[in-house]
Amino acid sequence: MWEEVKKLRALLKYQGMKKSPGCSWIEINGKSHLFMGADKSHPQAKEIYKFLEALPEKIKMAGYIPDTSFVLHDISEEEKEYNLTTHSEKLAIAFGLLTPGLE
């Protein structure tokens, strides 16, 4: 599989194409908050990441099994699981859950 990934990346580079980074946003009280994958630019990034670091163990106890088969990086299983927690949509949802007054 990694050989195929390398070939595809080389082809994209050859053709001058780049993958656009994913982004997610959440609107709270009329203000939009934009998040990119692994984004740490938000003023509350420290709290968001602290929340997300505690989440995997809690949901694993409830039976969650992370699917790392689509993480296209040649890294350890633990790193793949961490990468899944820093997707932009998870950052946006975590921010929403941490915002007082939202239900």
Does 100 score more than 70 pLDDT?
A: yes
- Here the tokens at position 39 are 């984004």
Confidence (pLDDT) at 55: 86
Which domain, by its residues, includes 74?
21-98
How many alpha carbons fall within 13 Å on the CB side of residue 62? 7
User: What is the pTM (predicted TM-score) of this model?
Assistant: 0.74
Q: Flag whether 10 is in a domain.
A: no
Confidence (pLDDT) at 99: 93
pLDDT digits (tens, 9 = 90+) for 23-75: 999 999 999 999 998 899 999 999 999 999 998 888 889 998 888 877 767 78
Does 1 score more than 70 pLDDT?
A: no
Q: Flag whether 91 is in a domain.
A: yes
Q: Flag whether 12 is in a domain.
A: no
Does 102 score more than 80 pLDDT?
A: no
CA 28, 32, 38, 40: dihedral to nearest 10 degrees? Answer: -80
